[in-house]
Amino acid sequence: MILDGHMHITDVCEDQGDFGPRLKAAGIDGGLVMSLPPPHWSGIPSPPSVAERLDNLFFWADSLPNLYPFFWIHPLEDSAREQVHLAAERGVAGFKVICDSFSAGEPQALEVFREIARMDRPILFHSGILWNGRPSAQYNHPEQFEVLLEVAGLKFSLAHISWPWCDELIAVYGKFLNAYTFRPDLSVEMFIDLTPGTPPIYRTEVLTKLLTAGYDVEHNVIFGTDCRITEYNVEWAQEWIKRDRDIYRSLDLSEQTVEQIFSENLRRFVSVSSDEVEQKIPRPGQLRE
C-alpha cells in the first residue's frame, strides 16, 4: 500500500474530475489532503469563511477511502482556537501550519498548538525554504521547532525534510529522541515528511544521511509528493516513488521499513494505526550500539 502524505487542495472546485483514477494510476491508495489556505496566505484563492473551507475539504476527503483531511490554520488569527474546535468536531484528522511570517514559538501560536494536542490531532508544518515570494527562511529552520518540546502530547511533522537544512533537521530529530533521557514523561513525537523539497540530485545524499545517521527514524518518516489533487501528477508521483525505492534498495532497507515509510508511518501519524513503537534513545558518546 502507498499513501501520499502531502497533497494540496488548490482550487475551489465542484467537480472531483479524475482525482480517483489518477491516484490509482500512480499506484496510490489514499493519503493526507490539506485544505485551502486561511485568508492571510496569498497566491491561492480561498473562501474567507472557515465553514466553506471545511466543506470544501470534506468534499474532497470524503470522495475516496483512506483520505485524511488536514485543516490549514493561521495560529495568530483571533479565532484560531475556535477554528481548531470547529474543525475537530467536523472530524479533521489533523492541522496544517505554514510559519510564513511568524515563528512557531510565538506564545499565541503555542497556545493553539496546545489546544490541537489536547484534541489529539497532529500538526504538519512546512519546514525548509518557503516559496512564498517573501523573506521567510528565519521561521522555517528546523531549530525553530525545538520549542514544540513544550507542547505536551503533540505529534508533529516537518515537511520537505526541511530542505536545504536537512542536516539540521536530522540533528533536531535526534534531540527530540534524546529529550526522553531528561524528561521520561515527555510525550512529544516528531515525524519527518519526505516530500520534495529536495531536487533529485540531493535525494540520495539526504535520504542516506537521514536513514543511516544512527537515529531511530524508521517509524517516523513519511512519503509525500506535494501534488495538487485537482491535477494529480501521476508521472511526478511515480518518478519519486521509483527514485526513493532505488535509494532504499541501495541502502538495504528491509521491505518492512519501506512499507512503513510508504504507508504505515502516516497511519500512525494520524492515529489510524495505534501501533506503539519502541524507539532507541540516542545518548552522547554512544550513538551507535
Residue 226, interface with Zn ion (CB under 5 A)? yes
Shortest Cβ 271–Zn ion spacing (Å): 21
**Which of 89, 27, 66, 4 has its CA nearest to residue 272?**
66
Shortest Cβ 6–Zn ion spacing (Å): 6
- For Zn ion, which residue has the nearest CB? 226
Query: Cα 203 to chain center, whole Å?
Result: 18
Shortest Cβ 229–Zn ion spacing (Å): 12
Residue 4, interface with Zn ion (CB under 5 A)? no
Closer by beta carbon to Zn ion, 41 or else 202: 41
Residue 100, interface with Zn ion (CB under 5 A)? no
Contact call for residues 156 and 70 (beta carbons, < 8 A): no
**CB crowding 138-153: b at 16 or more within 10 Å, else e:** ebbbbebbbebbebee
Total residues at the site for Zn ion (CB under 5 A)? 1
Sole residue written with cell 496544517: 96
Of 40-48, 129-137, 218-226, 277-285, the segment contacting Zn ion by CB under 5 A is 218-226
Shortest Cβ 221–Zn ion spacing (Å): 17
Of 25-33, 103-111, 178-186, 223-231, the segment contacting Zn ion by CB under 5 A is 223-231
Q: Is the dihedral of CA 12, 16, 22, 23 positive or negative?
A: positive
Of 99-107, 161-169, 202-210, 220-228, the segment contacting Zn ion by CB under 5 A is 220-228
DSSP string, 34-72: EPPPPTT--SS---S-HHHHHHHHHHHHTTSTTEEEEEE
Q: Which residues bind Zn ion (CB under 5 A)?
A: 226
